[in-house]
Structure 1
Amino acid sequence: MIGSPQSPAPQDPYYTLPNEWDSAAERLALLGAAYDPESITLAESLGVTAGSRCLEAGAGGGSFARWLCATALPGGRVLAVDADPRHLTDLPDRGGEVARLDLTTDDLPQHEFDFVHTRFVLLHIAQRDTVLPRLARALAPGGILLLEEGDGLGVLNEMPGAFGEVWRAFARSTELAGANQSWARNLPAHLEALGLIDIRANVEIPVFRGGSQMARMWSLTWAQVHETLTALRVSPQVIATARAELADEERWFYAPPTVRASGRAPRESVATP
């Protein structure tokens, strides 16, 4: 049964950047502003339109779910689920549905959605190889599963300056918590193994200027995980330098690659693991 947004919040054992942090709403809004344009362009190319039945799994700040509401409704359906949906309270006013749901343990509707999407969710979940088939089973015949996940893809050791030093420590901290920074590069093979067809995939390395929305998002990330970083022997001075670099409009940075992969459930049957 789908969880209710009013039910007690479960402990979130797998996500490294929990939603209850004081500045989480700002960080999530900046993440959406940085990544939504590519997500929206890809979703439109995959056929998301008025009347589409959509599942946003791990909806976070809800920016992409809001776009789904504006695009698929009325006539379609938008269900946004998250282990901590505190930033999704406006979605019902937009016609969407919200559920508090742990993707690792709670049931998802099966065979109901034309479009299922996650972004920067599965790499953080140690049980990702169990969650992925469940997302595929949520697809109606002919439905599309779109995954957008981060992956080091060999660039982490090339990231310069204090920003790179902090990013490498952050990546280690996420893996200690159950993340896998090299899992996403194999997404096309994972989707094919689930029986999905029409698989598409690409990789993008975001390049951004200091002082930009993406720079501010990373600066807030370093603030959120400050204690974790210092526990990994990153000095507060290095963290402060990395945040100062990110505020410098004369600097340019690149973020770890984003792997985007999609696959379609066969129309004659729904994909199964």
Structure 2
Amino acid sequence: MGGAVREAGGSYLFDNGSAHAAGQHRCLAAWLDPISVGRLRAGGVGPGMRCLDVGAGAGSVAVWLAEQVAPGGSVVATDLAPLPVPSRSGLAVRQHDVVRDPLPEEAFDLVHVRLVLSHLPEREGVLARLFAALRPGGVLHLLEFDAEYAPVLTVPDERARELYERYQRAKLRAFRARGSHQGWGRECAGALVRAGFVEVEAEARIDTLAPGTPQLEMQLHNTWHLREALLREGLAEDELAELRGLFGDLRFRACSNVVYAVRGRRP
């Protein structure tokens, strides 16, 4: 995802300090980096540009950006709890809370934000701050999920279908309890328009969750990474173990969340 996501009370639902964080970031990079990089490349990235990557996580996109803007460019990669990021010329990693900490105004040619704003109750205010951080003509690249869309395609039996659907509902409740809007992906293009961006473009993509894919492996990591939240929302330990077995069953298929890649320019 981005990186750590704020939870009520100041702790984190997705914690970069968790033993499961590295696996989560690896799965997200394998799934989403081709989408992010494709959109960034199509939007125009080149030497000398100044870039901001918000919620950089393990830094795969930030590293790619630093390679594209060299020589002469720079990338600032921020996160609430920064992870080690491979060193590149012009790349700086900073601990930063995009809700509360200041951002320089008219400082960046490009801002990239992936799977961050949907988790923030202050998302519209943050969009305004990102708008102000862009130079006139600068571009915001946003990638978000509609996680309310996740239908099952094939299952070994009806018990497995019911369990997977309960798991999805439990995740949504856990996120909503912390101010997250898991359907915001389908609304974020409109949010960019309201924030003053022009030439707003949106692209939607759906993949298949199947054993051996990073999309489904991420769900496996979620049963561990979100274990406490899922237990609070009514799932039992034996049901989480059953889900882990289901995710290795070749008879299981489901649709991924809808991935929305949205781009807008500051006039």
Interval of TM-score (by shorter of Structure 1 and Structure 2)? 0.7 to 0.9
Show CA shifts across 1:47-76 (max 9, x none). 112322111011112111111112122221
Displacement of 1:114 in angstroms is 1.3
Q: Structure 1 residues 15, 205: CA separation in 2 closer, same or farther (over 3 Å shift)? A: farther
- Matched with 1:263 is 264
- Matched with 1:111 is 106
- Matched with 1:86 is 83
With normalisation by structure 1, the TM-score equals: 0.86
CA distance in 1, matches of 2:11, 2:99: 10
2:124 maps to 1:123: no
Give the secondary structure class of the aligned counterpart of 1:142.
Answer: strand
Letter in 1 for 2:37: I
2:64 maps to 1:67: yes
Of stretches 140-149 and 254-263 in structure 1, the one that deviates more from structure 2 is 254-263
CA distance in 1, matches of 2:202, 2:12: 25
Which of 25, 40, 44 is the equivalent residue of 1:43?
A: 40
Give the secondary structure class of the aligned counterpart of 1:247.
Answer: coil
Q: Taking every aligned residue pair, what percent have the same amino acid on both sides?
A: 32
8 Å contact from structure 1 (residues 114, 142) kept in 2: yes
Q: CA RMSD in A?
A: 2.0
Give the secondary structure class of the aligned counterpart of 1:243.
Answer: helix
Q: Structure 1 residues 14, 44: CA separation in 2 closer, same or farther (over 3 Å shift)? A: farther
CA distance in 1, matches of 2:223, 2:200: 35
| Alignment coverage as a number of residue pairs | 253
Unaligned runs of 5+ in 2: 154-160
Displacement of 1:262 in angstroms is 1.0
Unaligned runs of 5+ in 1: 1-8, 267-273
Show CA shifts across 1:125-181 (max 9, x none). 12112111111111111111011111145x34x346233321221111011111011
2:179 maps to 1:182: no
2:147 maps to 1:146: no
4+ residue runs over 6 A deviation: none
Show CA shifts across 1:166-216 (max 9, x none). 122111101111101122322122111122111101221221321222222
CA distance in 2, matches of 1:84, 1:107: 17
With normalisation by structure 2, the TM-score equals: 0.88
- Matched with 2:232 is 231
8 Å contact from structure 2 (residues 106, 136) kept in 1: yes
- Matched with 1:6 is none
